Structure 1
Amino acid sequence: MGMIDQLNKDFESRVRLGIMSVLMVNDWVDFTEMKSLLNITDGNLASHSTALEKAQYIEVKKEFVGKKPKTSYRVTNLGRVTFNSHLNALEKLFKAKN
């Protein structure tokens, strides 16, 4: 197995990398804040967060604040472990000698 095989395909998208990076250092982050931090569209955030939720890397909480819907995200334990493994594999790749 080559070093590149240790990279997780679920994190290949820059949007998913961004979502995971934000959630690794914050507890709950709401939709508006995440969208603003990553400078992406509603649809882009919605589709990538759904994919990460299906893989059980993030938890999505939907609630009402007053009469307005609010969606928030948090990394799961599985997400934390898997993303750390991905980052470690990237680091090994950077340090690899040709």
Structure 2
Amino acid sequence: MSHPRHELDEVIHSPVRLSIAATLAAVDKAEFAFVRDSVEITDSALSKQVATLEKAGYVTVTKGYVGKRPRTWLALSEEGRRAFERHLAALRAIAEGRPAGG
């Protein structure tokens, strides 16, 4: 039996990245500005954190237009959703004093 902390995902564990993942887990996709405002960070901070999540394969970034205005949409990939759920399960196990997978 191992401690559930071993199941925590280092990419998602950062408070800002966890907040981004939680915001995206509730929707199919969200505009960049919506996520920025929800998580209460700057454009540049969100861009940096999204790049980390994208590199890990957890977030997809889609660019397009609404009318003539450029927009960026963010979404959790299937891999990202699974990683987020595993991370939450590990946090719950830690909080409840259970062993990993218990």
User: TM exceeds 0.5?
Assistant: yes
Unmatched 5+ stretches in structure 2:
none
Partner of 1:58: 59
User: Given the two structures, how large is their TM-score scaled by the length of structure 1?
Assistant: 0.91
Distance in 1, Cα, partners of 2:33 & 2:83: 25
* Deviation (angstroms), 1:13: 1.3
Partner of 1:70: 71
2:29 equivalent to 1:16: no
Between 75-84 and 60-69, report the one with greater CA deviation. Answer: 60-69
* Deviation (angstroms), 1:2: 2.6
* Deviation (angstroms), 1:82: 1.0
Superposition misfits of 4+ residues, deviation over 6 angstroms: none
What code does the residue aligned with 1:60 have?
A: V
Aligned alpha-carbon RMSD (Å): 1.3
Aligned-residue sequence identity (percent) comes to 33
User: Given the two structures, how large is their TM-score scaled by the length of structure 2?
Assistant: 0.88
Aligned to 1:27, what secondary structure does the other structure show?
coil
What code does the residue aligned with 1:5 have?
A: H
Aligned to 1:26, what secondary structure does the other structure show?
coil
* Deviation (angstroms), 1:25: 0.8
Aligned to 1:50, what secondary structure does the other structure show?
helix
Distance in 2, Cα, partners of 1:93 & 1:53: 27
Greater relative CO, 1 or 2 (CA 8 Å, sep 6+): 2
Please give the per-residue CA displacement for 1:48-76, whole angstroms capped at 9, x wherever unaligned. 01111111111110112333221111111
Distance in 2, Cα, partners of 1:2 & 1:93: 8
Residues paired across the two proteins, number: 97
Partner of 1:32: 33
